[in-house]
């Protein structure tokens, strides 16, 4: 795996090996972090980051929910990401911005109460392939419904992409993998379909695209939103509604969406075949349009700007829209 040799930390670049924190940092003990996952794709115009402003806006929104007040704006984080990629030879990569509560070694605070701990901000990058396997995009994956539910949104806010939330995701993912599946699907606290351990979920029935609503303990996924817009541009009806577990078994097609997963079809749920047991036609069409957009072969739907191009070395490191 190729890793960017520098990491952006609090406004400056440091060596990857120097990006370290104290073991007694608040984040280590209490999970007090928010983060993003962002993909940069190789295009004919060079590296381009997919929906960078939207991802960084969600990052600062997540921080606000947890009363974190970093001294950097959304645009500062965007510029950091572009500069980080621009300082490497990577044509494509995965970006990980993270904001967390560290430790003031001069005046350490060790309790749950977080506000006496300093805010640390980092952006790192590395090359990362297909999250669910190289053949998942075409052949699909086998998943299970997890015995672990998603949390109530009044216990942990699903709108925030917080590190602590992913302890729940780890339970879902481990159970699935140990059971011989690629991924798990969580139900919410009412028993309705929520999402995967790190992906949103869509069903296709009678030509309609169906997905849980944003109020259903799900992260407001940026790839999810992209698929909704692509589908509507294609003339597909998109329905956001509660989904019963059994509906997963009866769907014509089911697929995951996410920055890491992109658009990954699901061929079976709980060892019950979904549709024909392979990638469905609507999933394929959505994939084709999505991948054309992320590599700059066609514009985003409805005149939107979804690509931030990284300028060649020697030019000013600013962002330009597709």
State the catalytic residues: 161
Q: Which two structure tokens, joined as six digits, stand for 312?
A: 């060649």
| Cβ-proximal residues to 269 (8 Å cutoff; 6+ apart), any chain | 143, 144, 145, 185, 248, 249, 254
CA-wise closest residue to 196 among 144, 267, 159, 272: 144
- Output DSSP code: residue 229: H
| CA proximity to 11, closest of 83, 69, 87, 59 | 83
| Rounded-to-integer distance, Cα 25 and Cα 31, Å | 10
Phi, psi of 175 (to 5 degrees): -60, -45
Give, to the nearest 10 degrees, the angle between helix 281-294 and helix 222-233. 110
Q: What is the DSSP string of 137-185?
A: HHH-EEEEE-SSPPPPTTTS-TTS-BTTHHHHHHHHHHHHHHTT-SEEE
Angle (deg, nearest 10), helices 52-65 and 222-233: 130
Token look-up 């602590």 returns 164
Rounded-to-5 percentages of helix, strand, coil across the chain: 25, 25, 45
Backbone CA torsion sign across 96, 97, 101, 106: positive
Backbone angles phi, psi at 42, to 5 degrees: -80, 125
């Amino acid at each position: 795996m190729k890793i960017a040799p520098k990491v952006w930390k609090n406004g400056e670049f440091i060596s990857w090996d120097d990006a370290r924190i104290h073991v007694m940092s608040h984040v280590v003990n209490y999970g007090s972090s928010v983060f993003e996952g962002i993909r940069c794709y190789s295009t004919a115009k060079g590296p381009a980051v997919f929906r960078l402003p939207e991802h960084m806006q969600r990052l600062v929104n997540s921080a606000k929910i947890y009363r974190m007040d970093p001294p950097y704006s959304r645009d500062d984080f965007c510029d950091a990401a572009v500069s980080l990629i621009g300082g490497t030879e990577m044509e494509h990569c995965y970006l990980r911005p993270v904001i967390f509560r560290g430790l003031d070694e001069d005046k350490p605070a060790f309790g749950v109460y977080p506000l006496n701990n300093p805010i640390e901000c980092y952006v790192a990058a590395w090359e990362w392939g297909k999250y669910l396997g190289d053949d998942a995009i075409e052949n699909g994956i086998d998943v299970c419904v997890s015995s672990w539910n998603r949390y109530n949104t009044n216990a942990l806010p699903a709108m925030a992409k917080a590190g602590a939330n992913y302890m729940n995701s780890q339970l879902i993912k481990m159970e699935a993998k140990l059971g011989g599946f690629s991924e798990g699907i969580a139900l919410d606290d009412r028993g309705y379909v929520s999402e995967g351990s790190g992906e949103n979920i869509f069903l296709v029935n009678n030509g309609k695209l169906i997905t849980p609503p944003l109020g259903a303990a799900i992260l407001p996924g940026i790839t999810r939103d992209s698929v909704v817009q692509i589908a509507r541009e294609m003339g597909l009806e998109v329905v956001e509604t509660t989904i019963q577990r059994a509906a997963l078994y009866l769907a014509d097609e089911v697929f995951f969406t996410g920055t890491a997963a992109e658009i990954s079809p699901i061929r079976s749920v709980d060892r019950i075949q979904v549709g024909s047991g392979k990638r469905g036609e609507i999933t394929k069409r959505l994939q084709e349009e999505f991948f054309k957009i992320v590599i700059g072969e066609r514009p985003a739907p409805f005149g939107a700007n979804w690509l931030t191009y990284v300028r060649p070395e020697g030019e000013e490191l600013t962002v330009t829209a597709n």
